[in-house]
A = this chain, B = another copy of it.
């Protein structure tokens, strides 16, 4: 017989199992009973802790996103200049996704949340990335130039959308091209354009 545990430990245990199973089978093909069985606990307990299937999924999603955001932020901050920061950011993005394939499956599935209250929360998580990118773009503007905030948002959304799509495409392509190839192509494609917007 399994012992009882305190709430925080059990929550972590449930979250880990959920991440694993959602990652393997996707949102739709995973039932709350499956997760309950994996943890060795009954379904209502999960509902008590996470409220709903969406809630549980969202908890997985936001933990994973935070890890990814950390990895990318770190790479960006460690770079000596803006150009290399951009390249490093791209590489670390694709590399993280390579090294955490299950994590990535969960995130791709977030389309699942297109409706409902959880959608809002999911958007916020995504928004973190857009903000990271927007900040980088802003830092690289000449200080005297009046910032067109709308334009910055457009650029940040575009880059975020592009990298996300590339990551999806890449998994369907059995992991090629390499992160470096992707990063350098993006770099070439975008760098001059960013320069042009600066003018």
Contact = CB atoms under 8 A, between A and B. Distances in A.
Interface of A: 25-29, 108-112, 114-116, 123, 150-151, 153-155, 157-166, 169, 172, 177, 181-182, 185-186, 188-197
A5 B177 CA distance: 52
Nearest to A150: B177
A23 to B, nearest CB: 12
Number of copies: 2
A111 B114 CA distance: 8
A189 B193 contact: yes
A158 B154 contact: no
A70 B159 CA distance: 26
Contact of A164 (B150, B153, B161, B169): B161
Contacts of A194: 189
B181 A150 contact: yes
A78 to B, nearest CB: 25
A133 B114 CA distance: 27
A30 B59 CA distance: 25
19 contacts: A26-B115, A108-B114, A109-B111, A109-B115, A110-B111, A111-B114, A112-B114, A150-B177, A154-B166, A154-B185, A157-B166, A158-B165, A159-B162, A161-B162, A161-B166, A162-B165, A164-B165, A189-B190, A189-B196
B164 A158 contact: no
B188 A197 contact: yes
The 10 closest A-B pairs by CB, nearest first: A111-B111, A161-B165, A189-B193, A158-B162, A192-B192, A26-B115, A162-B162, A161-B161, A161-B162, A154-B185
A115 B29 contact: yes
A191 to B, nearest CB: 7
A197 B185 contact: yes
Given A26-B114, A165-B165, A192-B196, 8 more contacts: A109-B114, A109-B115, A158-B163, A159-B162, A160-B165, A164-B165, A189-B194, A190-B193
